[in-house]
Amino acid sequence: MTQPQSAPALWITGPQQAEIRDTAITPIPDAALVRTLFTGISRGTEALVFRGHVPVTEHQTMRCPFQEGEFTFPVKYGYASVGQIETGARAGEVVFSLFPHQSRFYATESAMCPIPAAVPAARAVLAANMETALNITWDAQISIGDRVVVVGCGVVGALVGYLAAKIAGTKVTLTDIDPARQTVANAMGCDFALPDAVPQDADVVVHASASAAGLATAISVAGIEARVVEASWYGTRHVEAPLGGRFHQRRLHLISSQVGRIPAGQAARWTYRRRMLKALALLDDPCLDSLISGETPFAALAESYGDILSSPQTLCHRVTYAQG
């Protein structure tokens, strides 16, 4: 086949401005051409990028692997692409790549992770979020029989609850200000409670709401010497944390979790690729389809992008690409 020299891609051109641009794609040695089938929108991170809220001090650390441009705009951003290889020895294989919203791209062997046969391609857009949830669960050090609370029932929070509920004997409660998220929590195998009714004395609390109120809830329900894992990314915002009273008296452990580093307890044995392959394998469960909250054709993405990111109902929003 004739190898294309360009492909349409979504670019964020300024604060809360997006457009689809024809973007040059250059063949590179030992790379295959991949035709995109689906991408997933990671609402929390992409909203901060879209609004221009990435701190200048973190412009390098928060780059995604195949980002083009800078956070000062224009920038091509995203990291949840499912596509079919069109050239080379693996032609026809469906793979996951940490690539932005773009219809075609070239990728090397190491950048393409095979999707297990049991995992539908349309569900595999959750892989990056599952990888983050896996890393959070490692940081949380959840043990058999623990009482676990996850504050914030977005995609990452729901996936942390899903993984924690698989550990023998755990009792996992997801909490959110939106009572409609009970359906999501129950689908993940977790209990649900509104913030004023969360069970107390949790052994582990994971905060994933990216709000000061959520962090206060997380601290308020933690038991003595419990672990509170802060999984939210606030961008440029400064967040008030109630570190007096209960936090101090209960000797709580407050730690951050960020997917860019593998926790020390796993780092000697786990590579980033091994972690991603495991995240993909963990998607073999139809209940996870409930985390896909909507779908938009790529051709209409620029016009819809802002609304998708600003809607509180958005979980993982899937982008579909025209075939051929």
User: In this predicted model, what pLDDT tens digit does every residue of 7-35 receive, in sequence order?
Assistant: 999 999 999 999 999 999 988 899 999 99
Residue 318 reports pLDDT greater than 80? yes
Contacts with 313 (C-beta within 8 Å, 6 or more apart), sequence order? 293
- Residue 193's pLDDT band (boundaries 50, 70, 90)? very high
* Distance of alpha carbon 187 from alpha carbon 172, whole angstroms: 12
pLDDT digits (tens, 9 = 90+) for 243-298: 999 999 999 999 999 999 999 999 999 999 999 999 999 999 999 999 999 999 99
CATH topology of domain 6-123+283-320: Quinone Oxidoreductase; Chain A, domain 1 (3.90.180)
> What mean pLDDT, rounded, does the chain reach?
97
Determine if residue 276 is left, alpha or beta; phi over 0 gives left, psi from -120 to 50 gives alpha, anything else beta: alpha
Containing 183, the helix (H) or strand (E) segment is helix 182-187
- Residue 324's pLDDT band (boundaries 50, 70, 90)? low
- Residue 1's pLDDT band (boundaries 50, 70, 90)? low
Place of tokens 């224009």: 74
Place of tokens 């809830």: 217
**What is the model's pLDDT at position 28?**
87
- Residue 38's pLDDT band (boundaries 50, 70, 90)? very high
Instruction: Give backbone dihedrals phi and psi of 316, rounded to 5 degrees, phi first.
Output: -95, 120
Length of the chain (residues): 324
Sign of CA dihedral 129, 270, 108, 34: negative
Q: What angle do CA 220, 224, 230 make, to 5 degrees?
A: 55
**What is the model's pLDDT at position 99?**
98
* Distance of alpha carbon 213 from alpha carbon 120, whole angstroms: 37
Domain positions in the chain: 6-123+283-320, 132-264
**What is the model's pLDDT at position 243?**
95
CATH architecture classification, 132-264? 3-Layer(aba) Sandwich (3.40)
pTM above 0.75, yes or no: yes
Read off the pLDDT of each residue in 90-94 and give the average, rounded to a whole number. 97
Sign of CA dihedral 129, 317, 61, 212: negative
Strand order across the 6-14 sheet: 17-24, 6-14, 75-76, 68-69
- List Cα–Cα distances, 133 to 78, 112, 140, 305, in angstroms: 17, 20, 10, 24
Residue pair 174/181 in contact by the 8 Å Cβ criterion: yes
- The domains spanning 6-123+283-320 and 132-264 adopt the same CATH topology: no
The beta-carbon contacts of 26-31 under 8 Å, at least 24 apart in sequence, are 26/106, 27/3, 27/106, 28/106, 28/108, 30/108, 30/109, 31/106, 31/107, 31/108
Q: Which two tokens stand for residue 200?
A: 């107390």
**What is the model's pLDDT at position 2?**
76
Read off the pLDDT of each residue in 77-105 and give the average, rounded to a whole number. 97
Read off the pLDDT of each residue in 197-209 and give the average, rounded to a whole number. 98
* Distance of alpha carbon 163 from alpha carbon 181, whole angstroms: 17
